[in-house]
Amino acid sequence: MLKVVAASLLVFVSLSTAGHGQGSDRSVDVEFAAGTTGTVISDRIVGREMVLYHLGAEAGQVMDISLQSSNAATYFNVYAPGSVPGDAALAVSSLTSDSVPDLNQFSATLPVSGDYTVTVYLYRAAARRDEVAVYTLDISITGAQQGIVQNDYADGLMGGPDFWSVVANSDLNLRSDPSQSATKVSVLNADDVVRNLGCRMAEAQRWCQVQTITEPGLTGWVAGRFLAEAAEPAH
């Protein structure tokens, strides 16, 4: 088990530009399997290519990351919600610190709720030589959550609209709990408007508790990526 450090001990470091620059970037939304707290990602990069992995977590939870690669010049950076490559990183795996007890090992109690970004890249010299890295990224998010976070969909989990509109291309399952494995309570249709009862992170993605308008009193959880802010429906 990696060492867990308090949020106050997290060291913010400037982004290392090694390996970043003219290559192509890929973005991947990470989701954990239903009922699990982590996943192992297998991937590869070439030269200046960089992969950005996005995953949701809440303040006070613990994120652990371990990188294993066929190329010793492979590293990762961790960015807090609202930060992107080019901003200060929460941690750089090529530099040991309180949250990086060893190279390519990260463990920390998270300071804020929202969508975190983990970037994987090749160090400068290896990137210039167009070297290849085949790697596995082991990510877990553990720790008890607090009460429902009544927050804003657009800015981490702070604030929030009163109503959502369903933007799914097909029927959206309304579940009893924030999990893909939870019991299906009902089904929402595209463009349905529902009342927002608060959002939170689970299985590395955002879930929102909602109440239906057409069936007053019926509540459940839906994946937040299928919701958009809406106006109050006309009575």
pLDDT digits (tens, 9 = 90+) for 175-197: 999 888 889 999 998 889 998 98
**Residue 225 banded pLDDT, cuts 50, 70, 90:** confident
28, β-bridge pairs: 53
Of residues 180 and 160, which shows the higher confidence score? 180
Tell me the residue type at 215: E
Q: Which ranges of the chain does DSSP label H, i.e. alpha helix?
A: 124-128
**Residue 2 banded pLDDT, cuts 50, 70, 90:** very low
The C-alpha atoms of residue 235 and residue 227 are separated, in whole angstroms, by: 21
Question: Is the Cβ–Cβ distance between 206 and 57 less than 8 Å?
Answer: no
Quote the tokens at residue 165. Answer: 């509109």
The C-alpha atoms of residue 12 and residue 147 are separated, in whole angstroms, by: 28
The C-alpha atoms of residue 130 and residue 124 are separated, in whole angstroms, by: 10
- Domains of the chain (ranges plus CATH)? 7-142 (2.60.120.380), 163-230 (2.30.30.40)
Average pLDDT over residues 107-113: 92
Taking CA atoms, 215 is separated from 192, 196, 229, in Å, by 12, 14, 20
pLDDT digits (tens, 9 = 90+) for 197-213: 888 888 888 889 999 98
The C-alpha atoms of residue 205 and residue 32 are separated, in whole angstroms, by: 8
Average pLDDT over residues 59-80: 96
Average pLDDT over residues 32-59: 94
Tally Cβ neighbours within 10 Å of residue 6: 10
Quote the tokens at residue 188. Answer: 């929402």
Q: Any residues with CB less than 8 A from the CB of 108 and at least 6 apart, and which? A: 4, 5, 7, 10, 62, 63, 90, 91, 98, 99
